[in-house]
Amino acid sequence: MDRALAVDGSVGRRFVGARRLANERGVLLGLAIVTLAFGALVGPQFFAAANLELMARQTVIVCVAALGMTMIIVSGGIDLSVGSIVALATVVTALLLRHMGPLAAAGGAVAAGALCGALNGILITRLRVVPFIVTLGTMLLVRGAAKGLADERRIEAPTTWLNDLLRTAQGGGGWLLPSGIWLTLVLAAMVAFTLDYTRFGRHLFAIGSSERTARLCGVRIDRTKLAVYICGAALAALSGVLQFSKLSVGDPTVAQGLELDVIAAVIIGGGSLLGGRGSVAGTIAGAAIMAVIQIGCSQQGLPNWVQQIVTGAIIVFAVGLDRWRQAALARP
């Protein structure tokens, strides 16, 4: 018996590896193609360390918010309020910096974001309104709160190390990459671990895959959903701290429509709006594809509208390809 188990187990593990790869191969291949295409257009300087770092710095804000969105989308939900939460976080950070240290200010911003997430979660689980509608409402609500808090102005703040999170490390600044990018990588690893190797993560997949089954199996749906919206909003607020670092002011009008970039990153990365599917590696590759297009287009001297058309086409193409592949897999 034990030997049979061991054999079965190893077969299972090999299968995991193959499937993971199959799930993310598409988006990684897409990233490679897009990068090589722009590399060919722009020339070898496209692959210069400074340029790659620029792209990474460009993408972290979307990336960090998209980590949270990945968890939410895996659970079958959606959060349209992340753009507003980013703006609120920049304002809160700027305001708090006047009174306390940078770490506490950033912590305060994340707490404010978590509070918004708790509001989303409570409305979704208590009122039984679909997440799309609830977060459409809180998108406006939080944006309004940010503007009110900032008195509809940009908030100046004293300069601290928070402003250096995304400063280039090309001048020989310590750790090879800007600390904001390191932060993103650590967060990505944490979220990936949470999704694949914790009870919370498995429950998220179960809820997204079939909420009724999850309920039958004793998963506490409301509690789990509340937690995921809080996590998602806290990550959005962290991305707001990075946004503040880039702007060095608190700006309540920043990140309008950012939620759509964030959702696009998750979807390009293989997430399904129906829930139950999505991965951190895919999401980051999805965000990277968009950053490469953006920077590649501007370095090639292509106007903004070309960039938008290319990004839009890639979203539709990626999702279409994915559906087609799923259907092909489902056939016996």
Partner 1 sequence: MRGVSRRFGATFALDGVDFAVHGGEVCALVGQNGAGKSTLMAILAGALAPDAGEMRIDGAPYAPRDPLAARRAGVAMIHQELSLAPHLTVMENIVLGAEPVRGGAGRVLAVVDRARMRETAEAALAQVGHRDIPPDQPVGDLAPAAQQLVEIARALASGCRVLVLDEPTSSLAHGDVRLLFERIARLKSQGIAIVYISHFIEEVKAVSDRFVVLRDGRNAGGGITSTTAAEDIVGLMVGRRLDGLYPRGQRTPGEVILELDGVVPGAATLALRRGEVVGIAGLIGAGRTRLLRAIFGLEPIRSGRLAVGAFTGAAEPHGRWRQAVGMLSEDRGGEGLAPGMSIADNMTLTRLSPFGPAFTVMPARQESAAAHWIDRLGIRCDSPRQAVAQLSGGNQQKVAVGRLLQHDVDVLILDEPTRGIDVVSKAQIYELIDRLVGGGTKAALLVSSYLPELLGVCDRIAVMARGRLGAARPVDEWTEHSLLMEASGAAS
The residue (of 99 and 212) whose beta carbon lies closer to partner 1 is 212
Q: How far is CA 111 from the centre of its chain?
A: 18
9 part of the interface to partner 1, by CB under 8 A:
yes
Please choose, out of 108-116, 215-223, 241-249, 254-262, the segment that lies near partner 1 by the rule CB under 8 A: 215-223
Q: Which helix (H) or strand (E) holds 155?
A: strand 155-156
Of residues 280, 222, 286, the one with CA closest to residue 260: 286
Q: 268 to 297, contacts with partner 1 by CB under 8 A? A: 276-277
Task: Please identify which residue in 170, 209, 253, 299 interacts with partner 1, judged by CB under 8 A.
Answer: 209
Q: How far is CA 62 from the centre of its chain?
A: 6
Please choose, out of 9-17, 128-136, 148-156, 231-239, the segment that lies near partner 1 by the rule CB under 8 A: 9-17
Q: Please give the structure tokens belonging to residue 29.
A: 């291949």
The residue (of 122 and 219) whose beta carbon lies closer to partner 1 is 219
The residue (of 198 and 298) whose beta carbon lies closer to partner 1 is 198
218 part of the interface to partner 1, by CB under 8 A:
yes
Closest CB 4 distance from partner 1, rounded Å = 6
Q: What is the phi/psi pair of residue 251, to 5°?
A: -130, 110
Q: How far apart are CA 236 and CA 107, in angstroms?
A: 13
323 part of the interface to partner 1, by CB under 8 A:
no
Closest CB 208 distance from partner 1, rounded Å = 9
Size of the site for partner 1 (CB under 8 A): 36
210: which residues sit within 8 A by CB, 6+ positions away? 276
Closest CB 16 distance from partner 1, rounded Å = 6
Closest CB 219 distance from partner 1, rounded Å = 7
What is the β-pairing status of strands 249-250 and 155-156?
A: antiparallel
Q: How far apart are CA 143 and CA 19, in angstroms?
A: 41
Closest CB 2 distance from partner 1, rounded Å = 10
Closest CB 218 distance from partner 1, rounded Å = 4
Q: Please give the structure tokens belonging to residue 26.
A: 């598409």
The residue (of 20 and 147) whose beta carbon lies closer to partner 1 is 20
Q: How far apart are CA 269 and CA 26, in angstroms?
A: 8
How many CA atoms, within 13 angstroms, populate the side-chain half-sphere of residue 170?
10
* 256, 263 contact by CB (below 8 A): no
The residues that touch partner 1, with contacts defined as CB under 8 A, are 1, 4-5, 8-9, 11-13, 15-16, 19, 196-203, 205-206, 209-210, 212-220, 276-277, 330, 332
